[in-house]
Chain A
Amino acid sequence: MRIAGKGLIDTSKTVSFSFDGRRIEGAEGDTVTSALLANDIRLVARSFKYHRPRGILTAGSEEPNALVTTGSGAGAEPNVRATMVEIHEGLEVKSQNRWPSLGFDVLSVNDLAAPFFGAGFYYKTFMWPGALWEKLYEPLIRRAAGLGALSGDNNEDRYERAYAFCDLLVIGAGPAGLMAALTAARAGADVILADEDSRMGGRLLAECEEIDGKPGHIWAAEAVAELAGMENVRLMPRTTVTGAYDQGTYGALERVGLHKAADGHLPRECFWRIVARRSILAAGALERPIAFPDNDRPGIMNAGAVRAYLNRWGVAAGKRVAVYGNNDGAHQTARDLMDAGVEVAAVIDSRKDASVALDAPVITGGRVIATSGRLGLEEITVATGSGQERLKVDCLAVSGGWNPTVHLACHMNGRPVWDEAIQSFVPKAGMIPGMEAAGAANGVFSTAGCLADGAKAGEAAAADLGKKASKTKMPKASDSAYRLEPLWVVEGKGRQWLDFQNDVTVKDVRLAAKENYRSVEHMKRYTTQGMAPDQGKNSNVGALAVLADATGRGIPETGTTTYRPPFVPVSIAAMGAGAQGKGFAPQRFTTSHAASVERGAPMIEAGMWYRPSYFPRPGEKTWRQACDREVTMVREAVGICDVSTLGKIDVQGPDAAAFLDFVYTNTMSTLPVGKVRYGLMLREDGHVMDDGTCARFGEGHFVITTTTAAAALVMRHLEFVAQGLRPDLDVQLVSVTEQWAQFGVVGPKSRDLLNDLLDAPISDETLPYMGHQAAQVMGVRGRLFRISFSGEHAYELAVPARFGEALYRVLVARAEMLGGGAYGMEALNVLRIEKGHITHAEIHGRTTAFDIGFDKMISRKKDCVGQKMAAREGMVEESREQLVGLKPVGAVKQLTAGAHIFVEDAQAKRENDQGYVTSVCYSPTVQSFLGLGFLKNGRARYGERVRLVDHLRGVEAVCEVVNPVFFDPEGGRLRG
């Protein structure tokens, strides 16, 4: 019910939205809950387990009951706190976890079966027969559980991430936060003030309090205006600080566009990483309910929320209201309601000695022992000193006291301390380095106290930051004491609900204690207390008190569960913003990319890079046809392949040769200038890390290559060796992978092709196999290496990257004139398998130089990384799996990598496993399928027949074990 003349919003500006299809009219500035209450709607949701009717408990992000789905289709957002949703024209709101309707929910039968569904009941049943768990019990439980539903459609909305840095982050813009921000900002500190509400002011917007003789909300507005006018202040409304992390890093979630219809442009939310040298936690306090029987009906609300709806939004939460509390604060609720003309049926104060100066019926020492009303509160029963009294009310405003919002302060494992006076936990200094708590979050509950505490924290932060704060003039405000008498549980018939969201009752906690789940963590995990979307913000302290009582311990001794980020739930889309689709990782393109795409090559991912798979020609129907043709083309004419993705590292310095001797197993110091050598690198644990080539350009100048996959890893490793292990060596390293475009020119006609382009022709004499030289290609200075991965007479020509695309096009055109052309990764793979060359399919991190037959490449004349551990007894045993070639015996349909190898007539089981296949291809050159693999004691088994078994693909093949070099084992073609 809207009260004319109350509230801070302009009720003349109407905004309509829908709730479960019903059109609701609210006002600009309303939240969904204030608008629903204004329309006398109390039933908003169904609970998790028993599908109990639930309404609205709070007016903030801690709301446990009023969770709804907003939007529809791909834009549907489940589990949104209706208290935090600002209405806008056309907003769709739906209730959740009910079928067929909110008013009539079939699964509310669960409530009738509640005696059988107590804490942890599912651990004790559903065990027989075992097969029914996945088939029956679990699907039933899953369907009943959960709250809202995802749409199932891909996210289509925009989300963002952003970064900010400041001297001081003030969390919360209530009286303490505003004073802290004002004080520090006036002293010159860079301040970020973040508050999760759309409007700053905190409780000042919800209370009828005066500051400096004016309404609190006016004072707040003036403070905000002053801050907004300062260049060193950034105000971040609608921003919840969600987590405190190391070195002053805070996560924060800004609701950028959620208060408007999605327009595809404005992000819905933005996840911030804020780095602050200091922070002040001024997040206020959360009111706690009292666990009396049937305390969960719609219409039973926190008293502070009732005041907030009245004073901020001009909405009375009921027509006839009772107030129930254990502290003086509750009385203010009655006072505000009566001032607004709302009937207050009774003020029930649990304290016998409470003095209540109110013009309303007062019951001191009273207890609410029962409530009724199926879909909303209709009546309460109060036990008075003399008997029982029944009151017809549609709203009960409850206050069990307030809990400081300590959560962020506890995110680094610190535990808050129990404050006897306020019967709650408060932060202790130093829990988060650089953070101070102030105001209600610090256990200071009066307005004057909050202002002073905020100013003090602001001054201290400014001083820490080396700024001098001028003397703050303290605004005048009320300093009423906060008096309460603990009241956790009221006994009576009916269940006393603690965790509204997860349907945990006092009885559940007591049962946990009885069954000896006495640790607070056991109780939590057994009953699910505090594990719901509010993470126990409304119920944990109460549940602790019940557990403490049940186990005969004090509350501080019982201890709290662990506070974990985020403070409010954060959407995956916000925290992972930017990664959807292709944004997950950088895309690296070679200079030949466009030319390859033009030729119709499917581009495949190779790490971050994209490389052509094959180059289809007219008439070719399968990749195999293209691949076979490309292989033959290379073997018979000339092929062109972009090899720029291989890592290239320039190594220079007087000790460059000594350094390379240390990182390679073989010796590079003996390599003559102008020559290239194959090199093998080990990890220190003796396994192969990577392989590549090493070209010497001068006494102290080498360029080495790495595999595409290991480029960054090798660079980091070499820097580690240079800086950490061998700082005695004078050597400098720089990655030049991106500076050079490099192309393989491969095949018997490769030299003919090159000699048409090079300014100075080459010959076997001027550039023999494993030689390299500077080369001028059509006027561009480049580097020419005579090296081969295919076993053919081949070159790699490198030019500065800006000439890459042009050169590639020329090379391919020339190759085509010679009966060759471009070839892709598939053909590259076939060519190297034919030659028995390894890739990371073979050097997969578990193989040694011994395994791949390269143990002789480990020079014993010098120390090198990995040499020592490669010599461990288990690393050189004959029984290890060794690289072999596998050639089918007779006709086979295919070979498959990933097959395991067995003795021909042995059963295919682990005990008989002899090895596995790493690489396979069809070789048009050898006209056979070929495989590389690792076989126990393989080098001694050439000529033996083995069986390859691939259960997964249903492929078996008998192969002969052969030398892995299938083609041109003498290497004549390399030099030809």
Chain B
Amino acid sequence: MRYSGFKVFTEGLTGNKGWKPVWRDPEPKSEYDIVLIGGGGHGLSTAYYLAKNHGLKNIAVLEKGYIGSGNIGRNTTIVRANYFLPGNSEFYSHSLKLWENLEAELNYNVMHSQRGLINLFHSDGQRDAFARRGNAMINQGDDAILLDREGVRQHLPYLDFDNIRFPVYGALFHPRGGTARHDAVAWGYARGADMRGVDLIQNCEVTGIDIEGGQVRGVRTSRGVIRAKKVAMVAAGRSGQVAAMAGMRLPIESHILQAFVTEGLKPVIHHVVSFGMGHFYISQSDKGGLVFGGDLDFYSSYAQRGNLPMKEHVMEAAMTLMPMIGKARVLRSWGGVMDMSPDGSPIIDKTHIDGLFVNCGWNYGGFKAVPASGWAYAHLIATGEPHETAKRYRLDRFRTGRGIMDEEGTGSQHNLH
């Protein structure tokens, strides 16, 4: 069923009786060519592009909960391509291009809103680091503008320019950055994959990965054994547990990242804004809630919930940067489990087991990566060769020391990225 304004109109006139299920609910078959472990954003986009770009049909996505129950449904919805290290630059640039056509691609309104991302800086040193970043973005073919203090004031007149602890020196402005409706991304890809014959199997937990003679044979699940020629792990947040079923240890530590939303308010923040001195970023959803977040809680955790110290720290940053939002009330806070990698960059690679692939380590940047990650992972699974935009996301880079992509420069301690 094709969605359109006309369809919404005619359905409205006829009592909305004609809407069809957005995806099927199939029983798992006993064998597939490809099984994807994880029905989050990355798994669903991978399934979609396996079908769409590579014409593959016999694919299952196994999801232990409901589709989109991981971090695709609990993030701060930011989409940007403002990386500066080779590897990340081309990958996120590709992702942003896919985002820009995603509604048409999926025939599903993911509300990708290119309202502009403004990263503030608060010292000459930060300015120069942002300049390096911005120039890298332009070298990549993306957009960036360096704003001075007055330039920031024109865009964000509501910041506390006079009394803030760390004065605003300027900002790196990324006009094509923005937000999207997170759940819609999962649903749009799920619907697209389903329409192309992919079996989306919910409430199906993988409990084991069968390997014979160094070759993957299939998976064991809460709904029975499923044989597969290729098995692709794409379960950020639980990557370690899934990989352990294949006897692998990953360079991943799981951490909590909290996020917050206020009650609905009339439009007041029109960009995505990030503070350079206090791990705070904010945007306003189309429903009116201020959506914001900060840093990790910093201790490893799988709890999908955080504690007060980081909540309070985030509110402190809000109060020093933009005290005009003080009277907004936080309605809900939640936590997502992040796959933190040793350089803050992800992994899309084969494993030492034939037919077993790994996609993990998205840190807190997985949402904006969903289109390109699926695209590249599908390419790797289908062809056996890494995609041009993701060939640096190698699992062995920590052993070789070659191509480490540490954008934060904080080193191999997982929680510092």
Residues of A near any B CB (own CB < 8 A): 48, 76-79, 113, 115-116, 118, 121-128, 130, 133-134, 138-139, 141-143, 145-155, 157, 159, 161, 243, 245-246, 249, 251, 271, 273, 411-413, 507, 511, 514-519, 521-522, 525-526, 528, 531-533, 535, 562, 564-566, 569-573, 575-585, 587, 604-606, 683-687, 689, 840-841, 844-846, 869, 872-875, 877, 896-900, 908-910, 913, 916-919, 949-953
Determine whether the beta carbon of A685 is less than 8 Å from that of B411: yes
Closest to B396 in A: A874
Question: Which B residues are in CB contact (< 8 Å) with A910?
Answer: 86, 89-90, 136, 139-141
Determine if A950 and B319 form an interchain contact, defined as CB atoms under 8 angstroms apart. no
B184: min CB distance to chain A, Å: 5
A116–B12 contact, CB under 8 A? yes
Residues of B within 8 A of A273 (CB): 308
B16 contact set on A, CB distance < 8 A: 115, 118, 507, 511
> Known contacts A123-B3, A576-B314, A898-B134; can you find 18 more A-B pairs with CB under 8 A?
A78-B263, A123-B181, A126-B5, A127-B107, A133-B112, A146-B265, A522-B67, A575-B312, A576-B316, A582-B163, A584-B277, A587-B165, A685-B412, A845-B408, A845-B411, A916-B132, A916-B135, A951-B144
27 pairs from A and B in contact (CB 8 Å cutoff): A78-B263, A116-B9, A123-B3, A124-B8, A125-B7, A128-B4, A147-B264, A243-B308, A249-B307, A249-B308, A271-B312, A515-B20, A519-B202, A526-B187, A528-B287, A573-B327, A580-B323, A582-B165, A582-B320, A583-B316, A584-B278, A846-B406, A846-B409, A874-B401, A874-B403, A874-B404, A951-B139
Question: Which of B8, B104, B187 has a CB less than 8 Å from the CB of A130?
Answer: B104
A683's closest neighbor in chain B, by CB? B411
Chain B residues with Cβ below 8 Å from A519 are 65-67, 69, 202
Q: Which 6 A-B pairs have the closest CB atoms?
A: A845-B409, A898-B131, A874-B402, A146-B288, A872-B401, A576-B315
CB proximity of B125 to chain A, nearest CB, Å: 6
Q: Which of A121, A143, A161, A683 has the most CB of B within 10 A?
A: A121
Query: Are B320 and A580 in contact, with the CB atoms below 8 A?
Result: yes
Q: Which of B204-212, B221-229, B330-338 is near enough to bind chain A?
A: B330-338
**B318 and A576 within 8 A (CB):** yes
A873 lies within 8 A of B326 (CB) = no
CA distance A535 to B402 in the complex (A): 49
CA distance A950 to B146 in the complex (A): 11
Residues of B within 8 A of A686 (CB): 401
B264–A48 CB distance below 8 A: yes
B246 adjacent to chain A (CB < 8 Å): no
Q: Does B130 have its Cβ within 8 Å of any Cβ on chain A?
A: yes
In the bound complex, what is the Cα–Cα distance between A521 and B182 (angstroms)?
13
Closest A residue to B125 by beta carbon equals: A841
- Distance in angstroms between the alpha carbons of A949 and B65 in the assembled complex: 50
- Residue of B66, B134, B316, B410 touching A578 (CB-CB under 8 A): B316
In whole angstroms, how far apart are the Cα atoms of A57 and B399 in the complex?
63
In the complex, are the beta carbons of B104 and A127 less than 8 A apart? yes
* Residues of chain B within 8 A of A582, CB atoms compared: 163-165, 320
Do the beta carbons of B268 and A149 come within 8 Å of each other? yes
Give the Cβ gap from A569 to chain B, nearest Cβ, in Å.
3
What is the bound-complex CA distance between A840 and B126, given in angstroms?
A: 11
- What is the bound-complex CA distance between A247 and B277, given in angstroms? 30
* B266 and A146 contacting across the interface, CB-CB below 8 Å: yes
Which size bracket describes the interface of B in this complex? 35 or more
Cβ contacts under 8 Å, B315 to chain A: 572, 575-576, 579
Across-interface contacts of A572 in B (CB, < 8 A): 262, 315, 318-319, 325-330
Whether a CB of chain A sits under 8 angstroms from the CB of B111 is: yes
Q: CB-CB < 8 A to B127: which residues of A?
A: 898
Q: Is the CB of B73 within 8 A of A521?
A: yes
Minimum C-beta distance from A706 to chain B (A): 16
Across-interface contacts of B67 in A (CB, < 8 A):
519, 522
- Considering the complex, give the chain A residue whose CB is closest to the CB of B110: A123
Give A161 to B308 CA distance when docked, in angstroms: 12
User: Looking at the complex, which one of B135, B160, B266 makes contact with A950 (CB distance below 8 Å)?
Assistant: B135
Q: Are the CB atoms of A525 and B327 closer together than 8 Å?
A: no
Interface residues of B in 303-361 (CB under 8 A from A): 303-305, 307-308, 311-312, 314-320, 323-334, 342
Cβ-defined partner of A584 (8 Å) among B165, B262, B400, B408: B165
A138 contact set on B, CB distance < 8 A: 111, 113, 286
B112: min CB distance to chain A, Å: 7
Residues of B within 8 A of A116 (CB): 8-9, 12
Q: A413 with B304: in contact, given A77-B327, A900-B132 (CB under 8 Å)?
A: yes
Contact status A581-B329, CB under 8 Å: no
Residues of chain A contacted by B181 (CB below 8 angstroms)? 123
**CB of B122 within 8 Å of the partner chain:** yes
B28 at the interface (CB under 8 A from A): no
A134 and B114 in contact, given A118-B12, A533-B263, A569-B331 (Cβ under 8 angstroms): yes
Contact, CB under 8 Å: A154 / B264: no
**B330 contacts A125, C-beta separation under 8 Å:** no
Does residue B145 face the partner (Cβ distance < 8 Å to A)? yes
Interface centre among A565, A576, A683 (most CB of B within 10 A): A576
Contact with A along B123-162 (1 / 0, CB 8 A): 1010111111111101111001110000000000010100
Within 8 A of A (CB), among B17-44: 19-25
Residue of A nearest to B184 (CB): A123
Please give, as numbers and ranges, the residues of chain A lying within 8 Å of B267 by CB-CB distance: 139, 142-143, 146
Q: Say yes or no: A898-B114 contact (C-beta < 8 A), given A515-B19, A845-B408.
A: no
Write the chain A residue with the least CB distance to B127. Answer: A898
Per a CB cutoff under 8 Å, which of B128, B183, B202 touches A525?
Answer: B183
Bound-state Cα–Cα, A130 to B100, Å: 8
Closest to B327 in A: A77
Contact B262–A569 (Cβ < 8 Å): yes
User: Which residues of chain B come closer than 8 Å to A845, judged between CB atoms?
Assistant: 406, 408-411
Indicate whether A899 sits within 8 Å of B131 (C-beta atoms), given known contacts A511-B16, A515-B19, A516-B25: yes
Check A897 against B128 for contact (C-beta < 8 Å).
Answer: yes
B257: min CB distance to chain A, Å: 14
Q: How far is the CA of A153 from the CA of B323 in the complex (A)?
A: 8
CA gap between A88 and B167 in the complex, in Å? 39
Taken residue by residue from 373 to 417, chain B's Cβ proximity to chain A (1 for < 8 Å, 0 otherwise) reads as 000000000000000000000000101111110101111100000
Name the B residues within 8 Å of A844 (CB-CB): 129, 409
Q: Tell me if B109 counts as interface (CB < 8 A to partner A).
A: yes
Across the two chains, which residue of chain A brings its CB closest to B108? A123
Q: Closest CB of chain A to B322's CB: distance in Å?
A: 8
Rounded to whole Å, the gap between the CB of B52 and the closest CB of chain A is 18
A913 touches B136 (CB 8 A): yes
Give every chain B residue within 8 A of A48 (Cβ-Cβ).
264
Tell me if B64 counts as interface (CB < 8 A to partner A).
no
Contact of B7 with A124 in the complex, beta carbons under 8 Å: yes
Q: Bound complex: CA of A576 vs CA of B324, how far in Å?
A: 13
Can you name the residue of chain A whose Cβ is closest to the Cβ of B122? A605
Residue B115 CB within 8 A of the other chain: yes
B81-111 contacts to A, CB under 8 A, are 86, 89-90, 100-101, 103-104, 107-109, 111
Residues in chain B near residue A522, CB distance under 8 A: 66-68
A669 → chain B closest CB, angstroms = 26
The reply to whether B19 and A571 contact each other, CB–CB distance below 8 Å, is: no
Expressed in whole angstroms, the Cα–Cα distance for A142 and B284 within the complex equals 9
What is the minimal beta-carbon distance from B123 to any residue of chain A, in angstroms? 6
- Nearest-CB residue, chain A, relative to B325: A572
A687 to B257 alpha-carbon distance, docked (Å): 27
Q: Is B15 part of the contact surface with A, judged by Cβ < 8 Å?
A: yes
A76 touches which of B112, B178, B325, B327 (Cβ 8 Å): B327
A950 vs B15: C-alpha distance when bound (angstroms):
59
Chain A residues, Cβ within 8 Å of B9? 116
What chain A residues lie within 8 Å of B326 (beta carbons)? Answer: 154-155, 157, 159, 571-573, 576, 580
| Residues from 264 to 280 in B contacting A, C-beta threshold 8 Å | 264-268, 277-278
**Which residue on A lies nearest to B158, using beta carbons?**
A152
User: What is the chain B residue whose CB lies nearest that of A520?
Assistant: B66
Please state if A581 and B320 are interface contacts (CB–CB under 8 Å).
Answer: yes
- Check if A79 sits within 8 Å of B265, measured CB to CB: yes
Across the interface, name the chain A residue whose C-beta is closest to B416: A845
